[in-house]
Structure formats: structure tokens, C-alpha cells
Structure 1
């Protein structure tokens, strides 16, 4: 059955296997710098979900570091990253936590009674789009392949003056900033103004450091 099939895949994901052969037509390779830590976390969280036991961890986000205790309900793989969905007692609300930012994970002895999760809270796309920031930028032609690889062929339009006009909604400022900076001088940001100012400031700081050396 589909349930048994997916359960078998999850069993393999929580093991230490880097490459999973699903059948004769599909191979899943989850090798990464975080592989060992991820498989350990996946295994612990999966057991916590099954046994209805609370988990605690240290969480690192763009807003800082915090200690969290949650009722874990789902493990989610989305946009090339793993997340745990649960009810956070620190925020008294449902939250989505990225496993790479989650450390010092512990499965507690404390059990919880499963909540009836509202259907709209199970729309995980909403967690990535509730506070979106619109990016508008012009990339050089050399970056066409990367835009297609990461966001698709319809994510940009050619400019008459040259370059590729890209517009996209990002779930968070820091993710957008880090992505743009990875292109170096192959992109010119048009919007938002906050990011333009941020890039100017960082460029000036980099120049100053190299002048000092």
C-alpha cells in the first residue's frame, strides 16, 4: 500500500544510508555536509512523533538563538531542506523548524496529547509565503543557467539593454540577501531599497578591510 511504501522509505531515511534505491527507476541521494547530523535528528524526531513525546532543542535563526520545546507532528522535506512541524510551547503556536538550524536535540520523557490541527495550519506553503519580500534584480547573461536551475525558465525576462530581469518573492530577508551575495558582481539589485543599501554598506566594509591589509 502507499502508506507501507512511504513508511519503508522513511525507515531508510532515518538510517545512515547516504543513497537510497527506491526501485529500478528511482534513486534518492541525500549526501550533504550535514548528513550524519541530519540522519540522527530524523531518527529521533520520527520516534518522538510516533511515541507522542516532547522534544527540545536549541534553534538558530536570523532573529537570534532560542531554546524550544515542541510537540512534533510531521517531518517535512521541502525545497532541498528538512523541517519539523509542531506546536511550540515557547510561542504557543504551530511552527516549522529547519533541521540544519536545530541543535542539541533531545527527546523528553514528557508525553503529549495530540491536538486537532486546523487544516489551514497544515498548508506548509503558507509558512514560506506569509512574510514574503519582493526581489527585483538584473542578472548578467552568464547567470542564466543558474536562474533556470533554481527558479525555472519563466523566472526572468531578457532586457532590451542586456541582462536578465528577475522578479521573485522570498520568504525571508536573510535568505534573499545570502542568495544575491552569492552572485558577486553578476547582479544589480533594483528592489528592495533595503537590500541595495545593505549591499553598498557591505561592499564598503570589504574594501576598507582590504585597504587595511
Structure 2
């Protein structure tokens, strides 16, 4: 891509005093004519480049500009590469090695490792690749979506792919529901790209901010056994509970979805006592009776 190449040329010039056009052409695998056009583009962008002809000549940044030669510090460059390597974990064609070369960065031992993939890495990579293609080409998609209400075929106009709350999501205009919806990629299967083009609809700010999508409507008040403290710390932090005189842990938190709250609290079994809401206590009692009947029958 031209933008990547321009950035690479600029960083190369910032990190060494002078370089020739043939060397740049070989480095970025383009023709010398393309490099000359890139140099003109950088000059038009306000970068003071100097070209010297003859033996010992080459391309360099004007001396007065070298007072601020380090456009990016070593730490900033490493931060960029860490982020790119994280995205590489879900891309078919990793960009990290190419970007490292363009930034003239040495291969170093990774101090921070980010893996954005999941147990379904192969299918996730395929979904993200297809959705990126659909977004860039403005093509509609269809898929089967699984939720608490069942499964349903959906047609949508993809707008944005987002990673939040340890999961990948698609924000799209749902043709079925006639509104912007957010779909969890782990629940989205049989994804198909159509050849039908669409005109993108403006994404409202409240839909773009995923934090505003979920209203916390259900308040859980519970008491946990101290043996599961590590889970509360892991999932909600050490300030999410208070220590009672009997050694148990008092916990209060608001949840967006009742089903998610029920599923989460059920995973603790007998290590939790729910105080509120009453409906949750009743559902847990029904679950316990149903489980008891299953095992009594066998």
C-alpha cells in the first residue's frame, strides 16, 4: 500500500543520513520511478527532502529538520509493533514482520505477547477476513445467528469489527430488524458474502460506543465462600467484594442480561448464596430440583 510505503520511506530517512533511490526501490520492491513519485509526495506533504546527484549523492532530510530526527522513540516503535503482532494473531497474512522491516526495527525477544484469537481461531480468522472484505467493498452478508431466543438467519450490511470484553463483535445494519445491531462473532456462523452492494448508513454515536449498548438492569446481591475469592478477583477485581465477620465475601454488582447473571452464578454451585433478586433465587431452586430429579432417576 502506498501509505505504508511512504511511512517506511520516511522512517528510513529519519534513521539514517542518506540513501539512494535504487536502494529504496529494492527495499520496498517497487520501481525507481515509483520511489521518485513517493519522494515528490513526501515533499508536497511538507517533509523537507534533499536530493543530491552524482557519486556520494542520495536522498536525505534537510539539515534544519534533523533537530527533531526521532519522530518515534524506541519505546513508541515497540508499542506499535506489539499492537500489530496482536492483530496478526487473527489475520491470514501477518503484517508485523513487514512493518518491522519498514521501521528498520531489529527482531527482539517479545516482552509482551497479545493473542486476540480464540478456541475457534481458524473460523475466526476466516470470518474477520470475509467481513473486512465485505466492509471495504460494501457488500451485504448473510449468516446464522445463535442467541438465547434461538437461532435465526440474518442479512446485514457490515459496518465495523470490534474487539471488546474479551470477544469479537460485528456492528452492522441488520436488514431483518431494520436497525443497527451488534453480533458476537462466536455466535455467528455460516457467514456468506453476497454480490449485492449497499450504500453505508451513518453509524450513530451511541451505536459506535459499545459500552452504551448494554444497560445494567439486574442487581445481584450475593455471599460467596472464601474459596472462590480468586474468581471474584480475576473477573471483577479485589475491590468487588467485602469481607464479612463469618469469613464469607459480600458481593454486589449490576448485570446487563439476566441469562448471563444466572449462568455466571450457577457456575459457583454451592459456593454462593444469592440474596437478591428473588427471581434468581427461584430459578436456582428450580434448577437444583431439576438436577436432583435427574440423578434420582438414574
Q: Same fold (TM over 0.5)?
A: yes
User: What residue in structure 1 maps to residue 132 of structure 2?
Assistant: 46
For the residues of structure 2 that align with 1:210 and 1:154, how far apart are their CA atoms?
A: 38
For the residues of structure 2 that align with 1:172 and 1:151, how far apart are their CA atoms?
A: 17
Tell me, yes or no, if structure 1 residue 97 matches structure 2 residue 174.
no
Q: Secondary structure at the match of 1:29?
A: coil
Tell me, yes or no, if structure 1 residue 199 matches structure 2 residue 284.
yes
Query: What is the CA-CA distance between 1:160 and the residue it aligns to?
Result: 2.5
Would the alpha carbon gap of residues 206 and 196 (structure 1) be closer, same or farther in structure 2, given more than 3 Å must change? same
For the residues of structure 1 that align with 2:155 and 2:266, how far apart are their CA atoms?
A: 34
Tell me, yes or no, if structure 1 residue 58 matches structure 2 residue 144.
yes
Q: Secondary structure at the match of 1:202?
A: helix
Which of structures 1 and 2 has the larger relative contact order (alpha carbons within 8 angstroms, sep 6+)?
1
CA displacement 1:136-177 (0-9 Å, x = unmatched): 111110111110101111111112333111111112111111
User: What residue in structure 2 maps to residue 35 of structure 1?
Assistant: 121
Tell me how many residue pairs correspond in the alignment: 209
The structure whose residues are more often helix, as a share, is: 2
User: What residue in structure 1 maps to residue 255 of structure 2?
Assistant: 170
User: What residue in structure 1 maps to residue 245 of structure 2?
Assistant: 160
Asked whether the equivalents of residues 145 and 188 of structure 2 are also in contact (C-alpha less than 8 Å), the reply is yes
For the residues of structure 2 that align with 1:8 and 1:54, how far apart are their CA atoms?
A: 29
For the residues of structure 1 that align with 2:242 and 2:88, how far apart are their CA atoms?
A: 43
Query: What is the CA-CA distance between 1:9 and the residue it aligns to?
Result: 5.6
Match for 1:75 among 161, 170, 174? 161
- TM-score normalised by the chain length of structure 1: 0.88
For the residues of structure 1 that align with 2:88 and 2:201, how far apart are their CA atoms?
A: 25
Gaps of 5+ in 2: 1-6, 8-76, 101-107
Would the alpha carbon gap of residues 77 and 152 (structure 1) be closer, same or farther in structure 2, given more than 3 Å must change? same
CA displacement 1:22-60 (0-9 Å, x = unmatched): 984331224532222211111111111111111111111
User: What residue in structure 2 maps to residue 180 of structure 1?
Assistant: 265
Gaps of 5+ in 1: none
Report the structure number with the largest CA radius of gyration.
2
User: What residue in structure 2 maps to residue 14 of structure 1?
Assistant: 91
Aligned pairs for 1:119-158 (under 5 A) are: 119-127=205-213, 129-130=214-215, 132-158=217-243
The structure whose residues are more often strand, as a share, is: 1
- TM-score normalised by the chain length of structure 2: 0.64
For the residues of structure 2 that align with 1:27 and 1:203, how far apart are their CA atoms?
A: 42
Query: What is the CA-CA distance between 1:71 and the residue it aligns to?
Result: 1.1
User: What residue in structure 2 maps to residue 114 of structure 1?
Assistant: 200
Would the alpha carbon gap of residues 162 and 12 (structure 1) be closer, same or farther in structure 2, given more than 3 Å must change? closer
For the residues of structure 2 that align with 1:67 and 1:131, how far apart are their CA atoms?
A: 28
Asked whether the equivalents of residues 138 and 198 of structure 2 are also in contact (C-alpha less than 8 Å), the reply is yes
